[in-house]
Structure 1
Amino acid sequence: MQHSSKPVLFAALLGAICTTLAPAMASDIVPTPKQSRSVLIKNATVHTVSQGVLSNTDVLIENGKITAVGPQLTSQANSATAETSDTQVVDASGKHLYPGLIALDTSLGLVEIEMSRPTVDNAEVGYINPQISTATAYNADSELIPTIRFNGITHAQIVPSGDGIAGQSVLVDLDAWTIEDALTPSAGQFHVYWPQIKRMPEDEKKKAKAIEKNQQAIDQLNIAFEDGYRYFLSDKASGKDNKDEDPQSATNNLRWQAMLPLYQGKATLFAHADSVGQIEQVIALTKKYQFKLVIVGGYDAWRLASSLREVKAGVIYPHTLSLPKRKDEPVDLPFKIPSLLANAGIPFALGFSSDWNSRNLPYAAGYSAAYGLTPEQALKSITLDAAKLLGVEDLGAIAVGYQGSVVLSEGDILDPMTNKIEAIWIEGRQIDLNNRHQQLYQKYLKR
């Protein structure tokens, strides 16, 4: 009888924890229904990204797509509608219209409260997990999402954390009921965290042991990629699904089956690596298997420009607001690296490796504009260039045929002093800008 009370006590405790955490894990902001009315935004300063900045320009959005861009659009501008009773007309005189920003390398929707383990689901147990997708854990109802999009971010790449082959990421829009609603079609995205010795011990024995352990981790990755390649060759030769092989190898089959798009050239390898040594090892792996490659981190990527150009690799750089990684480096080097990448001719985009803090993405781009990038390059690095690295061709610019995901701001979206977001449309639907921060501000304003 004594031990019979333990399940009851455990259930009560678990219930109490869930009850306590539930309000913190769900947003009360209702997603906007699919666009039903055309949207005509008039007289804006339009930052097209692809065609420069256009003054006093109108933008027409219909059925989730941009259908016209130009001055004084009327009903004749498109075969559908413009200024009719079925059109939402927005006077944007004196205001700036931008493409929706794309936050790369985030754990948004996977982490709610960093210090509360039950609300953290950004990593899986194990070292080789190519079959894992963040889509299975993404919380479209996260309380953090409305606070992120308030700064003009309409889409985010949801990335798994961990060591080794951590799994696959997805691209989502930030106004949805479920992951099915949120998913934005993009190329496959596999993530590998390349091993590194974070801090080399001074003791010779400990140093040798750290080097050995690091090499073992690298060898384990090389074996996994070779196994995946052999499975790819077998699948290609047989011309049929290999899932029905020996049941004892079912786990391995699940892994290597998931990796087939990577070897087929239909997916991209996102390799998290910063140092010259790490990046060189990743490039060697890429050459061996002919992977499409994006370096995530890329602190030293500008030093290996010719090698990266040779394999046509891109870079997601998330360290703009970080300190230098080495004691003898200039304190402002992390701010300058985006311009060094641009000058080296390496395709790149800015990321922000965080959950709630990814809201600072536009300001990180603003810093890079103050340290070598032009404002146009900085904006492009978090819109069109970000979309291209994800294999998305109709996102990140204001042009005919692109998604109607745009942001209306009173000032410069990259400047925290003048940026004032007034409206956001995601695929033509105007979203609610209310969020937890706004609610708390109004609450304590009345105290």
Structure 2
Amino acid sequence: MKIAVVGTGYVGLVTGTCLAETGNEVTCVDINEEKVKMMQQGQLPIYEPGLDLLFHRNIKQSRLTFTTNLAEAIGDAKIIFLALPTPPGGDGAADLSYVLGAARDIGKIITEYKVIVTKSTVPVGTADKVTAALKEHTTQEFAVVSNPEFLREGVAVEDFMKPDRVVVGTTDERARKLMGELYGPYVRQGNPVVFMDERSSELTKYAANSFLATKISFMNEIANMCELVGADVDMVRRGIGADERIGRRFLFAGIGYGGSCFPKDVQALAKSAEENKYDFKILNSVMEVNELQKTVLVEKIKAYYGGDLKGKHFAMWGLAFKPETDDIREAPALYIIDDLVEAGATITAYDPEGMPNVKKLVGDKIGYSENRYDALKDADALLIVTEWSVFRTPDFDFVKEKLKAPVIFDGRNLYDLDRMQECGFYYNSIGRKTIG
């Protein structure tokens, strides 16, 4: 099947590449000429494990191409995916200008029936708005379909190739048949393609991300309670995670959620509720908890040093909002950096993938190290901010040797408490007793 993908951000590029992997002919279109040229030359603009292999293979076999020409991309395509940014506006609502602008442009071009799919995360009612935008410029038949993505950064390729479910929102029978045919190869093991109406599909995406964000914030509240009453959040997590009604995932306490999805999606759903005169109390609390949790590590650091951080130097392991990505959008590390620098401290950071993006954003506000151990030089303490695997089993004797003092503040609970005590560290983590 011939497919067009409008937008080559994270979602668009993963979608286009994975669709090409099952034999479709995919053309990805973007207005950024430099980026398109880069991809035409076989260079990936994002870091995502496993994507490079599929990307290069499908370019080589001419199933994946890139262009800046919209008409060229959608000319023979049966299905057109809109994978465009929907950033939060000043009021928190999703900005649909990119999506609706693309719809109007497509309406000026199409000369036969097309299925236009909103892959972007969009609020309820967007399919109606896209339909209206298309009808401003065409009398051709078309269908607008909602097909939200559920890709986790770091495992997005696996999520797309072997989804636990595919959600398709359409009331058009021709579109339903085409979408079923398109996704058939990805659900051969029996996982469902769930068909529903467009509005239910749009809300499903927001509901899923908001529920997961709620689990995270709930566990962070439990962690804070654990510290007050002398309980261990890891024990609590294991105890409730064994209940199949609750499940084990998204129960790890830490320093808040970040990234491109959870923050804006929770905010957008709360705003959509407000526009419909509904006070979504849980989501407002989730956002409040998350904002406070992002800097809970800073409060621990200030308490340890008596509130005075002037002249203190910290090593920071981790910048990306989660491991296996270079995405720093809404990363807790950025909030921690701001607060520590404002308090008079200095920082040297190391992250396997996130440093180039942080350098673009904060420049020389902090220092950067080419490896994890060099970041420790002359540091008063080590801060664990992202749970990369490379940070899980360091040489603790060498860490002690490099640090000015054996002090670790761990925002991701990577290390065993008994081990930290044996190694002689002061060790302060989230929702567990402090060692030392």
Shorter-chain TM-score category?
A: under 0.3
Name the structure, 1 or 2, with higher relative contact order (CA <8 Å, separation 6+).
Answer: 1
Normalised by the length of structure 1, the TM-score is: 0.24
Comparing both structures, which one devotes a greater share of its residues to helix? 2
